[in-house]
Amino acid sequence: MTFNEAPFSINIQFTTPRGFPGQGTFRSDDWDKLLESYLEKERNLVEKGFQVPPLKVFGLKPQKPIEYVEGRVCPKCGSKLVYFEVKGKKNIKCFTSRYDWKTKTTSGCDYIEWSNSMEKPKETEVDFPDMITKAQETLLNKMKTEGTLPDSIDINSLSKNEAKETIQKYKTW
Ligand SMILES: [Zn+2]
């Protein structure tokens, strides 16, 4: 049998155990024999660490569907607003804004609202709504130092409202 006579062939592509691309062709004039021999060779290649080359995918990455901000429009131009993500945080920008990768410039409306959820809320504002605020504490301490606040008042035991009342009662300005 010569190659020219073989009417059947199977062409395979593989990646060698060290990562090189390769390919091989099986030929036979008998399809059943060819298949049998191919499957045997295939098993052999797998055992020796040959791998199927990764599939090449051409074209654009699937785009996320555009998510519009409901019930709001761009305060600058009145277009729709859309969400866009940076590092997992949702920000808002004007729908008309575009970025040109070729010229590295932006076009369209430049309205952007950055998410401020990166900033951790202050503990006193979230967990202890009644707690004296830092500003009140600073002010009361200043008043105590200046002598406008009676020594009997324990700043640390005051609630937010008590601190407010105390400041109003003893302030000299
Ligand atoms: Zn706009």
CA 92 – ligand 1 centroid, Å? 11
- 128 vs 81, residue with greater confidence: 81
**Mean of pLDDT values over 85-112:** 84
The Å distance, Cα 83 to ligand 1 centre, comes to: 13
For residue 82, report the distance from its CA to the centre of ligand 1, in Å. Answer: 10
Give the whole-angstrom CA distance, residue 91 versus residue 72.
14
**What's the 120 CA to ligand 1 centre distance in angstroms?**
29
Q: Tell me how far the alpha carbon of residue 163 lies from the centroid of ligand 1, in angstroms.
A: 45
Both tokens assigned to 159: 């609630």
Q: Using the predicted structure, report yes or no on whether residue 57 has a pLDDT greater than 60.
A: no
Q: In 137-173, which positions are buried (b, 16+ CB within 10 angstroms) versus exposed (e)?
A: bebbeebeeeeebeeebebeebeeeebeebbeeeeee
Distance of CA 44 from the midpoint of ligand 1 (Å): 62
Please say if the pLDDT value at position 120 is more than 50. no
- The whole-number average pLDDT for the span 29-46 is 88
CA of 98 to the centre of ligand 1 (A): 11
* Cα of 64 from ligand 1 centre, angstroms: 21
What integer is the mean pLDDT of 76-98?
88
Q: How far is the CA of 136 from the centre of ligand 1 (A)?
A: 41
Q: Is the pLDDT of residue 128 over 80?
A: no
